[in-house]
Amino acid sequence: MSVPVVLPHGYPQSWYEWKHVMPALAKNYTVIAPDLRGFGDSSRPLTGYDGNTTTEDIYQLVSQLGFSNIFLVAYDVGAQTAYSYAATPPSNVSKLVFMDFPFPGFIPPEFGENGAWWFGFYQTHDVPELLIEGKEREYLSCFIKGLEYNPYAITEEDIDAFVSHAVAPGGLLSQFEHFRAFPVDAEQNKESAKNKITMPVLVLGGDIYPALGGDFPGNFALASTQALAANATGITVPPSGHWISEEQPEFVIEQLAKFFNH
């Protein structure tokens, strides 16, 4: 049985964000691409969106599938779940990849005290739902385009897929709850950072973010990760915005292969 590669996705996506990467990985690994709770076709509970809780979802999935050693590749808010998973003993993660996510509790100063604008917006209870409901497609299209470098990487069909989950009952609420858990995540991260994770960690980050001024520092997440991981190295994905696996899938596949085989 080949080593499994588990792929937690980011916001506002689902397993579908990995569609360009999965076929290449599947040639050598068992690929597991779950929908995180609150996203895609997964359930939408009212609570339990902090990393320590969402970690249990992934642990149970991996355990039920019969795996004991995994590679973990996580993007955006999925990286919080992945970090909490790797930091919870006994960890069965042998290699770990984070993509474009500043960890709560260790957000780089370039973001300001509370992170990117949507962090605070989504953490405001009820207001985002009231403003976005009924305009999910318009909002998500604008949000995605504001963080992309390649305007052709995410298609209208891709946006349709993400919108279909946002408009489901409780869809917006459950997705925003991941951001509303950031204060809890920050406290959990600060505590677990006292004992840094020791497995090899690769951090992939984009270098062009129009919605953040266009010249935002490339791979801003590396310093944040190094506060949590003793063996973290970073690679900037050129040229790419936030949607790395969709904008530069071949580069991502190449870097994952090198990292896994090193």
The residue extents of the domains of the chain are: 4-261
Q: What is the DSSP string of 115-136?
A: -SHHHHHHHSSSHHHHHHTT-H
What is the per-residue pLDDT for 129? 98
Q: How far apart are CA 35 and CA 164, in angstroms?
A: 14
3-state DSSP helix/strand/coil % of the chain, to nearest 5: 45, 10, 45
pLDDT at res. 258: 98
| pTM across the whole model | 0.95
Q: Pick out the chain residues at pLDDT < 50.
A: 214
**What separation in angstroms does the CA of 176 have from each of 2, 27, 80, 197?**
35, 35, 14, 28
Give pLDDT, residue 215: 53
pLDDT of residue 211: 63
pLDDT for res 251: 98
State how far the Cα of 248 lies from the Cα of 106, in Å rounded to an integer. Answer: 27
What stretches of the chain adopt beta strand conformation (E)? Answer: 4-6, 30-32, 70-75, 93-99, 201-205, 232-236
What pLDDT digit, counting tens, does each position of 8-19 carry? 999 999 999 999
CATH topology of domain 4-261: Rossmann fold (3.40.50)
CB 196 within 8 A of CB 83: no
